[in-house]
Amino acid sequence: MAELNIVLHEPEIPANTGNIGRTCVATGTKLHLIEPLGFSLSEKHLKRAGMDYWKDLDVTVYENWEDFCKRNPGAKIYYATTKGRHVYSDVHYEPDCFIMFGKESAGIPEEILKANPDTCVRIPMIGETRSLNLSNSVAIVLYEALRQNDFDHMKLEGQLHRLSWDD
């Protein structure tokens, strides 16, 4: 079973993290938050964006990058960055990999990227666009990883409430 992981390195905007938390619940994905956070986990904007899903979220908080590395030794990590050498859809995401995103104002620290050039991925954009919204970026890359893993354990078909598709 695919057990993907989203990592947010020092996220700053509670609404983004709330939206990402909701996406993680909807996909059975674990969320990892690396401090310092730009908000409190009890902040109302975080809960509002995550709606009533936040209570169902599998979330782990780490003191810093070193704490994350120590508690996840040998983890396969993909680093989503505008500086990446590879397009996010051109790599293969293992069923238990971690996909890391940096803080909204600065991204992932360059020393981390420099140490991991082969697993840095980017979402293509035109011109000099600085970046996409963090929660949108997470959704784009996460759903590609889920697609590559055949949407393992996910509901693949919807149902009408009052009619059947054959009516």
The answer as to whether 161 is a domain residue is no
Maximum C-alpha span of the chain: 58
> Which residue ranges make up the annotated binding site for S-adenosyl-L-methionine?
102, 123, 131
Mean of the pLDDT values across residues 100-105? 97
The answer as to whether 155 is a domain residue is no
pLDDT tens figures, 106-149:
999 999 999 999 999 999 999 888 899 999 999 999 999 999 99
Mean of the pLDDT values across residues 45-65? 80
Contacts 24+ apart (CB under 8 A), 64-72: 64/34, 64/35, 65/9, 65/34, 65/109, 65/112, 67/34, 68/7, 68/32, 68/34, 72/32, 72/98
Mean of the pLDDT values across residues 45-70? 84
The answer as to whether 32 is a domain residue is yes
Give the predicted TM-score (pTM) of the model. 0.91
Mean of the pLDDT values across residues 38-53? 70
43 touches 16 (CB < 8 A): no
pLDDT of residue 20 exceeding 90: yes
pLDDT recorded at residue 45 = 61
Give the count of domains, the chain. 1
pLDDT recorded at residue 146 = 96
pLDDT of residue 14 exceeding 80: yes
pLDDT recorded at residue 135 = 96
Spatial distance between the Cα atoms of 84 and 104, rounded to a whole number of angstroms: 16
The answer as to whether 164 is a domain residue is no
> Which residue ranges make up the annotated binding site?
102, 123, 131
CA dihedral 99, 16, 12, 92 (to 10 degrees): 10
CATH number of 52's domain:
3.40.1280.10
The answer as to whether 28 is a domain residue is yes
Provide the percentage of residues in the chain whose pLDDT is more than 70: 92
Domain holding 77, by residue range, is 5-148
Spatial distance between the Cα atoms of 61 and 67, rounded to a whole number of angstroms: 10
The answer as to whether 166 is a domain residue is no
